[in-house]
Structure 1
């Protein structure tokens, strides 16, 4: 690790007031935990786990496994490749939020995020169900990913240059008009590691909105710790990752976009 590496990823992004955005550009939030393989998840249907979370996630799917193209279907069925053992998806009734359980991972994802508090109200019981029913020894990776798709039409700024809305450090060459108005594609990926072990996969750049073909800008933050995390420390670790996501987003945007998104303070407690 270089001597001048930051101690924590939080040091890269200044502190900022927590707010709720009325016009938040979030399209997906995912929390994933990886743990040493538990064979019981593969060998037995997770009936008790389902009972624990069924009130929030009543719909069950067993995830299809990718079958090699060269393998005849009858052979795939014979050896049990038609469905992936120990690969289950539990969905909310509106299908916007899902829990994915495998023999090595647990994740909660949603396309209907409102606040961290409401997300935790789903995440903590799901983690409790895993820990009670399967007792993972520890976690090997704890990650939290937020995907924002900023559409200028959503904030009545269609045609406004990106340089008015996003920091030059994020835009790169797109901060110059001569590049922005000619660019059809601009994508970037950066991986950062701090001295304390925190890591960030940061993907950002132009994207096309499929339904409208509008050019939008993606800010995709995947904060994680890829190291041994004791079960008792998982919640504080996840809370710490969430705090950095908010600071990173605020660092990327200019005040005019912050105001246009309709920030509302989140009461303490």
Structure 2
């Protein structure tokens, strides 16, 4: 089952590892060249820490199909970072997008509240024509040891749509060296989802960080609405994406996993 109408549920042992919302807009070049002092002042109470970095832009290839195509290096993109005092919330602003991410997902309503003020300030100050893409991504990491499910096969915790080969109980689970599932789904006339699901070891990229050898299950949903979304409809677009994410998440998990996550 890919979708489920199981009622939306809050879980005490929720698996969300990171949640990211990104809204892309037609390039506003002044953001790349002028520090956003007025924007910072509008959000500084919630995001007091500030940093700026230069991100490399992908090269532009011209003359494809001709006798001498050229690779043109593009100027770097300025990425402004605004971070909460506890380092759990980060807001990014570039000439092409604004994004909010958190490593401590408290639920949709509170996440949306954290976005409301920065998004309103951005629209008021920069007046984007519209949003080209509205995106919402949930990176869920399930740990059997954390949930008290050691020894339980992944095929008992996730739907066959994501664990089909592992449903064969005659094969030991640790013989599957790679069993990931990658899907792109059309959700409605304007929304789609890219999903990666499967077991693996989550690597920590920080220098010197200890590595966790436990095999976990990753369920990564990247939902998006494409087309020109008016700024006044951005919040509604995100609500629509969140509704789709709930049906996908509930469709992916089994009742045994729901019980272990402990519904509130």
Q: TM-score band, normalised by the shorter chain?
A: 0.7 to 0.9
Alignment partner, residue 45 of structure 1? 35
Q: In terms of mean alpha carbon deviation, does 22-31 or 177-186 score higher?
A: 177-186
Alignment partner, residue 30 of structure 1? 20
Q: 1:49-198 counterparts in 2 under 5 A?
A: 49-66=39-56, 84=76, 86-177=78-169, 178=171, 180-198=173-191
- Counterpart-to-counterpart distance in 1, 2:188 and 2:108: 26
Q: In structure 2, do the counterparts of structure 1 residues 217 and 43 end up closer, same or farther at CA, with 3 Å as the change threshold?
A: same
Q: Does the 8 Å CA contact 2:56/2:77 hold for their aligned counterparts?
A: no
- Counterpart-to-counterpart distance in 2, 1:24 and 1:111: 12
Alignment partner, residue 20 of structure 1? 10
Deviations 1:97-139 (A, max 9, x none): 1001000100000010011111011111111011011010100
Q: How many pairs were matched up?
A: 241
Q: What is the SS of the residue equivalent to 2:235?
A: helix
- Counterpart-to-counterpart distance in 2, 1:140 and 1:27: 27
Q: In structure 2, do the counterparts of structure 1 residues 84 and 92 end up closer, same or farther at CA, with 3 Å as the change threshold?
A: farther
- For structure 2, the 5+ residue unaligned runs are 59-72, 204-210
- For structure 1, the 5+ residue unaligned runs are 1-10, 69-80, 265-269
Q: Does the 8 Å CA contact 1:32/1:108 hold for their aligned counterparts?
A: yes
Q: What is the SS of the residue equivalent to 2:101?
A: strand
- Counterpart-to-counterpart distance in 2, 1:67 and 1:103: 12
Task: Calculate the TM-score normalised by the size of structure 1.
Answer: 0.84
Q: In terms of mean alpha carbon deviation, does 14-23 or 34-43 score higher?
A: 14-23
Alignment partner, residue 204 of structure 1? 197
Task: Calculate the TM-score normalised by the size of structure 2.
Answer: 0.86
Deviation at 1:12, TM superposition (A): 5.7
- Counterpart-to-counterpart distance in 1, 2:55 and 2:144: 38
Alignment partner, residue 216 of structure 2? 216
- Counterpart-to-counterpart distance in 2, 1:209 and 1:85: 29
- Counterpart-to-counterpart distance in 2, 1:65 and 1:147: 23
| Structural RMSD (CA) | 2.0
Q: Does the 8 Å CA contact 2:57/2:76 hold for their aligned counterparts?
A: no
